Structure 1
């Protein structure tokens, strides 16, 4: 029973930390910058200095949110480990386990890259992502048994897909923030209330870098997955749908990268293409999740 208690405690802590981090990221983005220019523009040097503490007040959310996100990821990892290897309610080869690992990898990459690429605002989407997959692992229960996978397949296919999905999550988050930022700029309204969202060029570069890093992994996952499916001689509805969406994901991301290099596709068009590719990848995951209830494999 101690492992059951430890599992429950780690889940509760991960839930608390993820929720707190998501709230702080939201507050950090929503915080208005308007009061800083208004204080500085309407006052002399002395009053400008007096206005600076409000900038310092913006620091706690930016400082503590990533730490809480990391603490939530640690609790999430402990919970998934106990659920998979001790309680055995979340098999290692199940999609629930894979989604949890993908979200943990996405969080790890984000925490490492956020300062270098100036993408702290992506935490606004990465925090809820980890929270959603944590809850999914907890509430979806034990999935149907999967075919056993040999170690080579796990290394070549599963890990490539997990790392690729983690990078695509980050690319999709950056693309979504790009579209939000661009929409606000085009409306030319409430520009002073844009919070701490990164500049459009910063978000565009982040999208490209994450896609460039994730595309070779997606290609490897697609090739090994096709070989494995052919080896198992599977041709049911579920396999066909997964193949269609998997190839559509690869094609969309390939087009985004190709058109960026050959035709200068950047900004909004690259963001829409990235989100479309992520939507196809998400459809593959949805098929994994709903098939026990929908009977797709029959």
Structure 2
């Protein structure tokens, strides 16, 4: 009976967490610049720059269904953790993955209580996927028996999701770098006459955002599916630790850039710097993927 309740609660939590995360992402993705506020700043003449301190867009109202799904997913998560601890004979206090599950449940509870008062609906972009990742971590790391080998197609999907996500972040980083170069030229009135072939600042800013929007779900999928290999972190595998650290750092930075754009109107220079910082960590993940056969990382 415990096994049945544990399995059903896990599947329900997985379903509702996934749906809530998708809705939170769509809320952030649709909060784009609209109307006359989207000005061609390069066409306004030298010295003008995006005002990153004021939101220049009309934010769409957040979805009411996403927090509800997140709450239902958290209930399923809590039920699974409770029953799984009895089934697997694992004490939550002495288990890292169970402690992370409890921490994510507390974070979700605080978020659901505070989101309306502090207007932090967009924070669900972080909370939803984290709850999903820690749920999977509890499921796969809490097994008292060795887990079966994964299908090659699943491994290929995991790798391709990461690599495609990083490729889109490379494009976003390139657009962000070009934005900073052109903004600096406009600010100091240098080489303005040579800038006819460069895109306007507003177009570059939107390109950065769209590349991040396209790459973020792929990286999230890579992070979630990567939970299958999380047991290697506890074994001290250097390669896996490095890749996980850089992967989560990339995901967190990109999520913060998207979150701050939706919630605080961060655009222009701030978004560009955040994107480039995320690109540095994404490049580190890519380097580990490419050089590990030659370097023999992880032994």
TM-score (normalised: structure 2): 0.47
TM-score (normalised: structure 1): 0.47
Q: Which has the higher contact order (CA 8 A, sep 6+)?
A: 2
